[in-house]
Amino acid sequence: MDMSKLSQPENSVKKQFDLSGKNILITGGAGFLGRFFCEAVSEMGGFPIILDIDREALKEARKHLSNQNFKSDGYLLDLTDASAVQRTVDTIIEKYKTIDVLINAAAFAMKNLKQGGPEFFASFEEYKKDLWQISLDVNLTGTFLITQAVGRIMKLKKKGVIINVASDVAVVSPDHRIYQPDERFDYKGVSFNTPLSYAVAKAGILSFTRYLATYWAKDGIRVNSVSFSGVYRNHDPKFVEQLSFRIPLGRMAFPQEYKGPIVFLASEASSFMTGANLVIDGGRTCW
């Protein structure tokens, strides 16, 4: 390849991170972290298009952005419904002509698990198949369906960026001890854990990312994943103590700390990066 004939990247770092004029589709964008992702891309000039299954959360997320003078659009969507996914993407393309970035942040995670009751936190030996399947359907199948629909559009445009939100437990096992009582620390344990179905689904996201990165490289589509560690959200202090003890930086993350990495992956600042998993975990996976 004649490198001299290729267009040169933007030299200015500020311009590399600029998302002005970019339509950025964010699944789960009305969720706890999703709202921070929406803020992040808005602050850099991007236009967030929010997909979420929760009507009230979607309304609140858009209001939150509007209060900061950021524009957005939003669509109610069940990502596991293939026909609804395609209809929604078609509607967005008809209205906005293009989708520049897809952030796959929707997940069947802790909020859903707690709402589902204690069965979601049953031991592996007693875990029910339908509960296993729910996690795979949302975390893997939903990601597959929306990426397939959006990827077709990006392939026609010969350009696009896809960011898949994985997890630190996609890289290493959850430390089961942080959920269990420990008399040495006067710790009574908690009523939740990280089910195998979640860890397996997020590990699948890493393979999904690598496969599409190589498959779509020739089409100008970059595909990366990001793996975050535990985010502080008014957790029980004793639980925070147990988890923080196992993180080299000695604490959980604040949600604002994940805004920068999302902008980096969405922007031209990461233009020579594809098929990678960006781990931001306070060093937890180094042990």
Domain ranges of the chain: 11-174+195-234+254-280
Sheet holding 47-52, edge to edge: 73-76, 47-52, 23-27, 101-104, 160-165, 221-228, 277-280
Structural tokens at position 242: 């147990």
CATH of region 11-174+195-234+254-280: 3.40.50.720
Structural tokens at position 164: 């898949």
* pLDDT score, position 117: 66
Pick the range with the lowest mean pLDDT from 10-14, 116-120, 133-137, 198-202.
116-120
H/E element, 150: helix 142-157
Structural tokens at position 125: 């030996």
Q: Rounded to 5 degrees, what angle do the CA atoms 51, 98, 55 make?
A: 15
> Would you say 209 and 275 are in contact if contact means Cβ atoms under 8 Å apart?
yes
pLDDT range class, residue 119, cuts 50, 70, 90: confident
DSSP string, 238-260: HHHHHHHHTSTTSSPBPGGGGHH
| Lookup result for tokens 């936190």 | 121
The terminus-to-terminus CA distance of the chain in angstroms comes to 41
pLDDT range class, residue 9, cuts 50, 70, 90: confident
31, pLDDT greater than 80: yes
DSSP string, 17-76: T--TT-EEEEETTTSHHHHHHHHHHHHTT-EEEEEES-HHHHHHHHHHHHTTT---EEEE
| pLDDT tens profile 249-269 | 999 999 999 999 999 999 999
d(CA 100, CA 159) in angstroms, rounded, equals 7
272, pLDDT greater than 80: yes
Structural tokens at position 166: 């994985």
* pLDDT score, position 122: 87
Structural tokens at position 42: 């808005």
- Helix, strand and coil content of the chain, in percent to the nearest 5, comes to 50, 15, 35
| Lookup result for tokens 């009523």 | 191
In b/e form, how buried is each residue of 145-168, taking b as 16+ CB within 10 angstroms? bbbebbbebbeeeeebbbbbbbbb
pLDDT range class, residue 112, cuts 50, 70, 90: low
By three-state DSSP, how is residue 231 classified? strand
